Structure 1
Amino acid sequence: MSEEHLLKTSPILQGLRALNGWRQKVIDGLHEMAALTADLGLLPSGTMLQLETLAYETEQDSLRIALVGEFSRGKTELINALFFADMGARLLPSSPGQTTMCPVEIRGAPQGRPGLQLLPIASRSLDVSIEKLKRAGSAWTRLPLVLEEKNERCQALAHLTETLCVAIEDARRIGLCPPLNRTPKDRERTICPSCGLGKVLIPRWRHALLYLTHPMLDAGLTVLDTPGLNAIGAEPELTFGMLADADAIIFVLGADTGVTQSDLTIWEQYLMRNAHQKQIVLLNKIDTLWDELRDWSGVVAEIEQQVDKTAERLRIPREQVIPVSGQKGLIARIRQDQKLLERSGMAALERSIAEVLLPARRAAIQARCRVLVERAVVDQKNLLQEQMNRITAQIESVRSLKDRTAEKVLELVAQHQRLLQSFEQDRHAFEGKKAAFRQAVEECLLVPLAPASFDLVISNAKAEMLSVWTTAGIVERFRLFFAEVIAHFDKAQQGAQQVSALVAGEYQVLQSRYRLPALRTVPYAIMPRRTELMDMAENYERFGMKLEIAVNTQSAVVRKAFLTVASRTRDFVVETRREAETWVDEIMAVMNQQLQVFHDNAEEELNALQSIAQTVGNIDTRIQQLRQSLQIVQEQMARLDHYSAPLLHLLREALSTAP
């Protein structure tokens, strides 16, 4: 069996390719919908830009899977077996005595060029997030990677296991050792076996980016390999950022150890409460329970008992726990031993990923795209239907003119002239009030969400956080920080309501006087964003309560934890402010469009009546023109149905019908 055949039989790769094919159809549909929206010209240009942006984001989307667990649970070997067995050997170092010492992100290689980027551990002393450092090329050590040469490949990837021997004071400065007043008495005089008294071993690298050319990665998979509990607690961005942003978590336990206290700490602190993630629990190393001198049914019964105990301890459904042997699974894949593959549990794990995680990713893409597409389609259909109704009414009105006298036609012309004159006066007055609208938007809605205000809140909270040395104090400072942020949100919400009432009140006067269409822009609701902020606050306060267990509340880690939380909260506020500005611009654009459409229609009707007044013979010509206009609008409606129906089907179809 060739390496190519190994990949072809992988349900994960098959599922990724099916997801990719479906996603590409969605992307194509979004581009077509954006082009049609621009061509029809019924909605503000911002809607077309939103559709194009959504298409780009969907194209950049990937399935992000993070493997989490204590040291020596076999996470790296599982990655080798699950995703890279086709290489015929271990990709990542996972032999006895070798373990990855820093988080490793494995991605597809840009322009097909493999490589390894390593972030030195000294960067922990900087108040800069890893995400920002990813954009600073000079901060990383870059190594070439030749996948075809096994020795060179192994030599390069062995850097992931490197450590440094440093003075314990240096380790404390970057948050990798507890402060002296929290160090157990028996460990105050730390001795590194390699370096001597007062020395400790720490990871050489803080983070690694591994770029590979591989079908699974090219199909949209990103894998995050994490070290054990100490690394998770000591790197707040890993906890609050990377793990929180992962689409799925694979939590790895050892069948030989069961659920240890440190395993339970990881589960309860970082994993169990994230309802947006799919989670699979692996009971790895079941081969340690295999015994050639025992009946196989007895071995199976013991493994099943371990599964039951694990599910009970973690308080999860039993089917969420999968017993596996990553090491035997890798051997089975390389040797093409189907019987050993099933026995290792890897086949069941691959099916679970393909049947649970991939459909969940597709559902997330559906949910993200469906709201905007449905709104764009419904709004355009409503506007086209209004145009058809108006043209049909005009046809009936013009037909009735055949039975009227020329005097009545002249009277209608005069009525339309007075209507247009009145409308222009009211429109001019309305335009004069837009400056007041903008001023109200700035004062009531945008000022409470100004980034500068939040920078001040963050700066004050940071200063207070550094003086706190108790868990209760940390939790209280997190709570006060979010209380201030939520207060700003509440003020912005009141402002949004005031602005909505002000704008709607002025527009409704014109709407009732000239029978304008109702504003079809969905009113901006800041409440869902506030609810999301409350969820963030709850999660981060909970992490603050657990921080003492993970890192002993040392100042370096507390500072980094808070800065990570504050940075993500500030980004959330800036995004909310941007959405509010977009909402205001959209309302203004829609109102301008409705006023212009009324003006154009009224002027067209006046010109038509004036033409009819000149000669009754023009009535038949006008009816023909109106019929042609009606046909154009009907064709536009048909085009909208033609392009929107397949896209809406993709975004609404049940997962069971997925390819």
Structure 2
Amino acid sequence: MSDDQIQERLHAYREWRGQIAQALQSYRAWLDKYGLGSPQEDESITSMLHSLMSDRITVAFAAEFSRGKTELINALFFAQTGVRLLPSSPGRTTMCPTEIFFDKAHGSYIRLLSIDTRLNDMPLSEYKLHAESWMQIDLDCNSIPQMQHAFKELAAVKRVSVAEATQLGLYAEDTGTQVAEDGTVDIPCWRHALISFPHPLLQEGLTILDTPGLNALGSEPELTLSMLPSAQAVVFVLAADTGVTKSDMDMWQNHVRGFGASRSRGLAVVLNKIDAMWDELQDETALERTIHKQVDSTAKILEVDEKAIFPISAKQALLAKIKHDPALLGKSRLPSLERYLGDDVVSQRRTIMMNVVNDKVGGLVQDSANVLAAQIKELDKQLADLRGVDSNNHATIKGLMVETREQQGRYMTSVEDFQASRRVLSVQARMLVDSLSLERVDGIIKQTRRDMASSLTTIGMKGVMKKVLDDLHAIANRAGDIAGETQQLVQAIYKKFEEEHGFAAAKPVQFSMRKYQLDLEQLFAEGEAFRNSASAALLEQSVVIQRLYGTVVARARDIIVQANKDATNWGAMVLSPLVLQIKDHKKAIETRLEMLRKISESTQTLDETIAELEQQLAPLRQQYGELEDVLNALRGGAEIPQKAAA
């Protein structure tokens, strides 16, 4: 698969997101047209539209130094420049974590964040909101030399004292860092880099995250605990000529392996530099055996499927693309990795996004369709009943009136019971939201910061952190218990109306705290694994410990904030489908009684009544037809309600 083919996949995904967004806009317009919308529904649609329009596919590359990772990125994404754009020569490699994307609003540039910002409490995510905090180098995309010169800044280092490097979390004994005779060490000039570049793949929504080495991952918790987990795929690069080294294994176990356990993210292992195995005295069969042996060994050591391992030569692939040599490109085996990125990763992301659309908004569309279907079904039933009545048989008409009034009486009793249950549910839903109170969470976090500031030892900080994690866990568990009770109450309310009045089409939207609890458990486990990783020596310094715990707490707060928001919206909307059907059913009973009365009193003929019902039915069918267009547009994996009777 070529760059053009990957671009086609990304373009198709972007077009698909546009189609789904247009369908949601049409649904909002449909709600407005017929006065059926609500503030909660509008908020859900707006939130989903923002997610669709801002969605990017992020592929993260992780490797120790000298594995050819940057050369691989050059071969995959920048060969069309005709040069080695990112610095990947010996001694000149990317030194700081780098994000590469396309910023349509601000053009082409490199933004660099000083390494000294590590001494501040502000997270990287906050710095990204303040462009003035970064040094910017504008890129002239018409000048290859200017861009090459600008990109060299990614590899810039500076010499500082051991004390300063230690304070920044970039030096500890026994980490292999060489100290000069004057007691100084080299450290990166930059903490993080943001690159906006008008590559076609980046313009289609691809983002590349380049993570340079175990030390960078081990001393920047936000990178490991936030940025890597947010990527849709991680490409772990090894050198085929050395196999899995100790430092490779440390990075794999402590920062990468978790991706293999998640179906929502892709994980590929690249065995780079297979050209070191090329031997003119060895035939292709022997070479294939040698490569397969290395793949098999790597699969066993890392405990991954061989299909997830891609033996390639990034160096030869870049050369082949620059020289337009298809034979050399095939020999480099890069196309197999390109197919994975173009097919598996993009397809997987589309499936995930479709599930999110179905979960967040699909239920709303389905509820609207179910309500319309119920209305149409009720009118069809009334028409069938009236067409089977002899207009001169007053006894039959009176019998229908008695039956309908009895139905109305039973229904009004049920509605009174519903209103009582609704009040109970309102109290229960408020308890759920209150259990996720942001004031309580922020109070815990503020107290933790005060306690950590007064803790001068690593042991003291660990004790403080254990307490805050236990407190946040307790909040989530308490909310989980209340959510379970509330869900049972909702199901009982729906079941009552389903049994008594046949409201089988209306199903309650599910809400569970389990997802948020699992996210918190995984976050806390990752934080603890990070602290116990091979880079733990660096973490004995308070600046890095505070950054680690600050990252964990910030992400935990985000999880609880999302749970609070989702619980609030769920509580406000969970009975909406049932409320709509109750109103429609009440209106249908009243309409039926009025028409039977008119027939009984001979103020309206049976034919006139039937014509009136048919007139009411026509606009409902039109509404359903318009909604069906929305449903068809959302059909890419969505569960579509059955079409109402025509």
What is the TM-score of this pair, normalised by structure 1? 0.85
Deviation at 1:650, TM superposition (A): 5.0
Cα 1:550–1:355, aligned 2, differ >3 Å: closer, same or farther?
Answer: farther
Per-residue CA shift, 1:4-28, capped at 9, x if unaligned?
Answer: xxx9764322332333333333333
Contact persistence 1:259–1:310 (CA under 8 A): yes
- Answering whether residue 634 of structure 2 is matched by residue 640 of structure 1, we say no
Q: Match of 1:238? A: 223
Q: Would the aligned equivalents of 1:479 and 1:537 in 2 still touch at CA under 8 Å?
A: no
Distance 1:526 1:142 in 2: 43
1:568 to 535, 541, 555: 555
Which residue, out of 109, 113, 116, partners 1:119? Answer: 113
- How far the C-alpha of 1:503 sits from its partner, in A, is 6.6
Q: Does residue 65 in structure 1 map to residue 59 in structure 2?
A: yes
Match of 1:279 among 237, 254, 267: 267
Cα distance change of structure 1 residues 146 and 550 upon mapping to structure 2, 3 Å threshold: farther
- Equivalent positions of 1:494-505 (< 5 A) are 494-499=481-486
CA spacing shift, 1:584–1:186, aligned 2, 3 Å: closer
Q: Deviations over 1:504-562 (max 9, x none)?
A: 77888888888877863314222333233333333333333326546343221111111
- SS of 2:524's partner is helix
Question: Would the aligned equivalents of 1:254 and 1:284 in 2 still touch at CA under 8 Å?
Answer: yes
Say which of 237, 254, 279 aligns to 1:252. 237
How far apart are 1:631 and its partner, in Å?
A: 3.2
Whether contact under 8 Å (1:100, 1:161) holds in the other structure is: yes
Q: What is the CA–CA distance in structure 2 between the aligned matches of 1:312 and 1:418, rounded to whole Å?
A: 70
Which letter maps to 1:387? Q
Cα separation, 1, equivalents of 2:286 and 2:451: 59
Counterpart in 2 of 1:551?
538
TM-fit CA distance, 1:149: 0.9
1:312 corresponds in structure 2 to 300
Q: Does 1:343 align with 2:310?
A: no
Question: Structure 1, residues 172-195: CA drift from partner, whole Å, max 9, x if none?
Answer: 2222223xxxx35998xx743xxx
1:99 CA drift (Å): 0.9
1:151 is aligned to 145
Identify if the C-alpha distance between structure 1 residues 415 and 352 changes in structure 2 by more than 3 Å, giving closer, same or farther: closer
Q: Which residue number corresponds to residue 394 of structure 1?
A: 382
Is there any run of 5+ residues in structure 1 with no aligned partner, and where? 1-6, 654-659
- Alignment partners' CA distance in 2, 1:177 and 1:362: 42
Which deviates further from its counterpart, 606-615 or 121-130? 606-615
CA distance in 2, matches of 1:89, 1:411: 85
Once the two structures are TM-superposed, the CA of residue 319 in structure 1 deviates from its matched residue by 2.7
- The whole-number CA distance in structure 1 between the counterparts of 2:510 and 2:351 is 26
Aligned-partner Cα distance in 1 for 2:158–2:490? 63
Separation of aligned partners in 1, 2:306 and 2:80: 31
Distance in 1, Cα, partners of 2:289 & 2:175: 44
User: Contact (CA 8 Å) 2:44, 2:361: kept in 1 or not?
Assistant: no
State the SS of the aligned residue for 1:535.
helix
Q: CA deviation at 1:48?
A: 5.0
Match of 2:190 in 1: 205
Q: Distance in 1 between matches of 2:504 and 2:310?
A: 58
Provide Cα deviations, 1:313-346, integer angstroms capped at 9, x if missing partner.
Answer: 2122223222222121111100011111112222
1:267 matches 2:252: yes
Between 230-239 and 625-634, report the one with greater CA deviation. Answer: 625-634
Aligned twin of 1:25: 19
Are the counterparts in 2 of residues 76 and 94 from structure 1 also a CA contact under 8 Å? yes
Structure 1 counterpart of 2:166, from 162, 172, 180: 172
Deviations 1:564-596 (A, max 9, x none): 111011010010011111011113544553444
Distance 1:101 1:131, change over 3 A: same
Rounded to whole Å, the distance in 2 between the matches of 1:99 and 1:426 is: 72
Are residues 294 and 612 of structure 1, via their aligned partners in 2, closer, same or farther at CA, if it must alter by over 3 Å? closer
Determine the C-alpha separation between the residues in 2 that align with 1:249 and 1:364: 16
**SS at structure 1 position matched to 2:61:** strand
Q: What is the CA–CA distance in structure 2 between the aligned matches of 1:174 and 1:439, rounded to whole Å?
A: 50
Where 1:176 maps in the other structure, the secondary structure is coil
Q: 1:458 aligns with which of 445, 448, 459?
A: 445
Please tell me whether residue 136 in structure 1 is matched to residue 125 in structure 2. Answer: no
**1:564 aligns to what SS in structure 2?**
helix
Structure 1's 167 and 502: CA in aligned 2 closer, same or farther, altered over 3 A? same
Indicate yes or no: 2:327 matched with 1:333. no
RMSD: 3.6
Change (3 A) 1:385 1:296: closer
Residues 186 and 83 (structure 1 numbering): CA distance in 2 closer, same or farther, change over 3 Å?
closer
Distance 1:252 1:418 in 2: 71
Flag the 1:319–1:617 CA change in 2: closer, same or farther, 3 A.
Answer: closer
**More off after superposition, 397-406 vs 104-113:** 397-406
Structure 2 length-normalised TM:
0.87
Note if 1:488 corresponds to 2:462: no
Question: Secondary structure of the residue that 1:71 maps to in structure 2?
Answer: coil
Instruction: Give aligned-pair identity as a percent.
Output: 30
AA partner of residue 206 (structure 1):
R
CA distance in 1, matches of 2:480, 2:326: 60
Match of 2:644 in 1: none
Deviation at 1:127, TM superposition (A): 1.4
The structure-2 alpha-carbon separation of the partners of 1:597 and 1:324, relative to structure 1 and needing over 3 Å to count, comes to same
CA-to-partner distance for each residue in 1:267-300, whole Å, 9 max, x for gaps?
1111112222211111112223334455555444
Q: Is the 8 A contact 2:102 2:202 kept in 1?
A: yes
- Which amino acid is 2:127 matched to? L
Q: Which residue of 2 aligns with 1:657?
A: none
2:522 corresponds, among 535, 540, 557, to 535
Equivalent in the alignment of 2:370: 382
Question: What whole-Å deviation, never above 9, does each CA across 1:159-181 have from its counterpart, x for those lacking one?
Answer: 11111222222222222223xxx
Alignment of 1:615-626 (within 5 A): 615-626=602-613
Alpha-carbon spacing, 1:461–1:621, altered in 2? closer, same or farther (3 Å): same
Q: CA deviation at 1:135?
A: 0.7
Q: Is the 8 A contact 1:38 1:45 kept in 2?
A: no
Once the two structures are overlaid, the 10-residue window that deviates more, 315-324 or 65-74, is 315-324
Aligned with 1:304: secondary structure? helix
Give the CA deviation at 1:124.
1.1
The residue that corresponds to 1:364 in the other structure is 352
Distance 2:33 2:537 in 1: 57
Local SS of the residue matching 2:64: coil
Contact 2:123 2:222 in 1 (8 A): yes
Q: Could you tell me whether the CA contact under 8 Å between 1:8 and 1:14 is conserved in 2?
A: no
Secondary structure at 1:258 match in 2 = coil
Alpha-carbon offset, residue 393 of structure 1 = 3.0
2:2·2:335 contact (CA, 8 Å) conserved in 1? no
One-letter amino acid of the structure 1 residue matched with residue 118 of structure 2: R
Q: Distance in 1 between matches of 2:362 and 2:403?
A: 42
Task: Name the stretch that deviates more: 603-612 or 222-231.
Answer: 603-612
1:283–1:322 contact (8 Å) kept in structure 2:
yes
Instruction: Give 1:124's aligned amino acid.
Output: R
Equivalent residue in structure 1 for 2:71, among 74, 77, 96:
77
CA contact (8 A) 2:299 2:305 kept: yes
One-letter amino acid of the counterpart of residue 619, structure 1: L
Question: Hey, what's the Cα distance between the residues in 2 that align with 1:502 and 1:293?
Answer: 76
Change (3 A) 1:468 1:512: farther
Inter-partner Cα distance in structure 2 for 1:245 and 1:92: 24
2:278 to 279, 290, 302: 290
Alignment of 1:213-228 (within 5 A): 213-228=198-213
> Structure 1 counterpart of 2:278, which letter?
W
Comparing 296-305 with 460-469, greater Cα deviation is found at: 460-469
Q: How many residues align?
A: 635
Comparing 521-530 with 558-567, which one deviates more in the overlay? 521-530
